[in-house]
Chain A
Amino acid sequence: MSVVTSLGDVLPAEALSGAEGGALARVARGAEAVVRPRSPEEVVDAVRWASANGVGVLPVGTGGRTTPARGDGPFMVLAMDRLSGLEIYEPADVTLTAKAGTPLADIEATLAEHRQWLPFDPPQVSSRTLGGLVATGESGPVATAYGELRNHVLGATVVCGDGRVLRLGGRVVKNVAGFDLLRPLVGSRGRLGVVTSVCLRAFPVPAKDRVLLLRSDDFAGLEAAARAVRTAPTLPASVVLWVRPTSQGAALLVRLHGAELTVDADQATLERRAGVSFARADSELVAEVRDDATDAPVVVTLSVLPSRLFEALGAARDLLGHSSVVADAYSGTARIALAEVDTDTVRALRDTIEEMGGALAVEAPDEGPEVRAAGSRPSDAETGVSTRLQEVFDPSGVFWPCRA
């Protein structure tokens, strides 16, 4: 069966092309075709075609943050990069609607002209697409001060597994007209549908973005300072713990946003509480840390209550050895980069973390499925509701390549 030929029947030929580029090639491995629709209508056509022909659909932004297809069977990659561009941007509303394939770098540039920005800083944020950001649902550590991405997605258009098009939410900052189907969509990683357009709330750029830095030989030496900052009366923009692989030590990076006077006062408060004096760092270091521990063969993500973070990282080091770690000390999440890992070690760490009330996930594209399956699972009750929610959005199960 040639999927590409059959697709040519429903999509104009120019919409089709082979996989190009590293990230896309990686997720397209084993795919029957890569489809790059130029309009929401073509997305609908492609999904309908896939649904009618028993072909799975793996929607991707740039492919950079997509997990390769999980399971067997023919599937196509739906690359959203051509569905790009701003739809509505009224700077004074401080909201913005754009097509899902729009690179965040473009959106950031447009917003910057009006001294606005999107307060999300997950790894490689600028090279993501808007739809990809929403699908992964990752906010990054500045959620400390600004709230999570899921709270700022005001609306989205989504193509369901049977080609239905749902227009959810709107473009106002408060909206409770009907059940909130947008929330589970954010972070659904393609499991529910293909997002074709998104409306987000933006924010004014703070007058100052100050980066404070505290170094230590070992991450344990930063625990007291991290706790002092995390429980301070002033809320920083983010509190990030960075652990280098071997003897390069560890660092705490604290970002303060606000007027110059405000950040001066906040810095003084934090230094007084923590009993330390911070060095200053620049935005380049912030970006380096933000993007560290992502591009590894194995990335373990763990979450615990913030008060247990250092204990969790200690347990991880005991089991996994020294490795790069980037942790959000305010929310209690961390990612750990590894060259390889065995299933038993992951299970042992998972059990320890779960005993602390936390959870663990593993991304290891080149390892077998049992490594990934060793991560924490939602409860049976949650899985039951989620499965039925998937059935509402995707009755015939076209989006199986996205599912665990």
Chain B
Amino acid sequence: MKPRVGIPRALLYYNYYPMWKEFFERLGAEIVLSELTNKKILDDGVNCSVDDACLPIKLFHGHVIDLKDRVDFLFIPRLISVQRSEYICPKFCGLPDMVVSLVNDLPTVIDVTVNMRNNNSSLRKAVLDAGRYITGDVVRIYSAYKSSLQKLHEFQRKMEEGLTPLEAMHGGKPSSFKEGIKIGLIGHPYNIYDNYASMDIIRKIRGRGIGIITQDMIRESEIDRIAKTFPKAMFWSFGKKIMAASEYLIDEKKVEGIIYMVAFGCGLDALVGDLVERRVRKKGVPFCLITIDEHTGEAGIDTRVEAFLDMLEWRNASKCW
């Protein structure tokens, strides 16, 4: 029987899933995903985590609980840094340790460490370490890694064409209909793309014929170009992307307004959100900060988003007079 590797649909699932899937499948494993985020996953996560943890970390624990009894391995990499001189978040540095402490009766956890802060060789080692849980065949691991990298690049290219991660994973097509106005939707990927956590915000915005551009739809080279102009290097990879994206979207006049979705209790968003808001407002672009947490009511968010979109449409219409 094929070994079953469980991947929680949370946190960096939205950034790396196609790569992880290709890798483990090439090694002969079967991928098992947790359910899409739902009420039970949320409740389980909230119950087992510490109160003050951010929503995404709570959700991750919920996804682990959903998966753990159905798999032989749980893939919980320790992603310290995926780019030179940068980090993701302190909580990612200790993610497997938190899970192991808080959730009982876990299957074997594949907790390889990726730390590319000082050099890239750590990735190679992480890949090898991860592969060894499934097979001893090093050549096979490397070739699986190569083709998984290719999948990752394809995936990223599709997002740059305007697809959300879920659309890119499921072979969606870039929307061809002419949208009236566009807005920038920025935030940690696991906040904006998890339809349950985000209260389905993407569908709701598009449903009004308004297009969205997220930070992941902007070319890496543009992000890097803008990030270089910050007074101090932004050492959080997602913080950098979010800050640079908001600047890019405004300066290049790509959007009419910006919605920044943050998770309650997120340490990064608390600071990055403040910096972004100050910059965006100074440039006179409408800005809306939406905070989500386990108690957020969908109605409240809908009202705020709708009011914001109404305002944008109204502004846009009055421009054409």
Asked if chains A and B come from one complex, the reply is: no
Q: A residues near B, CB below 8 A? A: none
